[in-house]
Amino acid sequence: DQQVKQNSPSLSVQEGRISILNCDYTNSMFDYFLWYKKYPAEGPTFLISISSIKDKNEDGRFTVFLNKSAKHLSLHIVPSQPGDSAVYFCAASRNYQLIWGAGTKLIIKP
Amino acid sequence: NAGVTQTPKFRVLKTGQSMTLLCAQDMNHEYMYWYRQDPGMGLRLIHYSVGEGTTAKGEVPDGYNVSRLKKQNFLLGLESAAPSQTSVYFCASSPGTGSFYSNQPQHFGDGTRLSIL
């Protein structure tokens, strides 16, 4: 039973445009949601997070939106750059543990 | 600026062999974690530790043991390796100060690719 789902295995976006990555969850007890970025042969690196009591958090080109009623969050990257090409993981925290989605591979086209 | 260091980076084992994966962090973090990542899946927590001398089970603990004898080290052991344990293993650490429910992102090592034949 996947509690955190990323339904798009991959996404291709033109450089300079907006990238939108989506994540759905089933457990309303999650208290924090985080996005991590992963390059091949490296560990994930933290990107941005949002508390369950907020609906938006922004950090430079990255914005995360949380819709609690729909149990949905999204990561917006504006503008998209070639270095953004990576796998993006959504994760949700509860009881000392992070529950991870399967990831979305973002490809930025020049 | 080592951060989280995992050794070895690659290893091939035969079924039934044992081995230990080592994770070391130099950030004085309280919490440490072991995950496995399989193709098409997210990371799954094997075991974690909230401080020196403590360990706890995660989502998929069967077939693994851990020890946290020193604050900076977290060891993951496979007593009798099975092909189902072929995976990429990631270690992570986080500060752990104050409430865990605050925003305390985990810092990851670069992984150990383990194949069990």
Convert the pLDDT of each residue in B65-106 to its tens digit: 999 999 999 999 999 999 999 999 999 998 875 444 455 788
3-class SS at B3?
Answer: coil
- A9 neighbourhood in chain B, CB within 8 Å: 40
- Between A29 and B74, the more confident residue is B74
* Average pLDDT of chain A, as a whole number: 94
pLDDT at residue B33 greater than cutoff 90: yes
Region B43-48: what's the mean pLDDT? 94
Q: Report the residue from A43, A51, A103 with minimal CB separation from B42.
A: A103
Band (pLDDT 50/70/90 cuts) for residue A97 is confident
A-to-B residue pairs, Cβ atoms closer than 8 angstroms: 57
| pLDDT in the model for residue B2 | 74
Q: What percentage of residues in chain A have a pLDDT greater than 90?
A: 86
Which sign does the torsion angle of CA B72, B28, B112, A2 carry? positive
Is it the case that residue B40 has pLDDT exceeding 80? yes
A43–B4 C-beta distance less than 8 A: yes
Residue type, A77: I
pLDDT at B103: 58
Considering A31-40, A78-87, B100-109, the range whose residues carry the highest mean pLDDT is: A78-87
pLDDT higher than threshold 80 for residue A20:
yes
Residue of B nearest to A35 (CA): B105
Minimal CA separation from A17 to chain B, in Å? 27
pLDDT at A105: 97
**Token pair listed for B68:** 């946290």
Residues of B in Cβ contact (< 8 Å) with A103: 42
The per-residue pLDDT of chain B, averaged, comes to 91
**Beta-carbon separation of A98 and B56 below 8 A:** no
Torsion sign across C-alpha atoms B42, B43, B45, B49:
negative
User: Is residue B34 within 8 Å of residue B51, measured between CB atoms?
Assistant: no
Lookup: tokens for B56: 């706890």
- Tokens describing residue A46: 């933290």
Q: What is the DSSP letter of A84?
A: G
Contacts of A34 in chain B (CB under 8 A): 103, 105
Hey, how many other C-beta atoms are within 10 angstroms of the C-beta on B21? 21
Q: Does the distance separating the beta carbons of B106 and A102 come in below 8 Å?
A: no
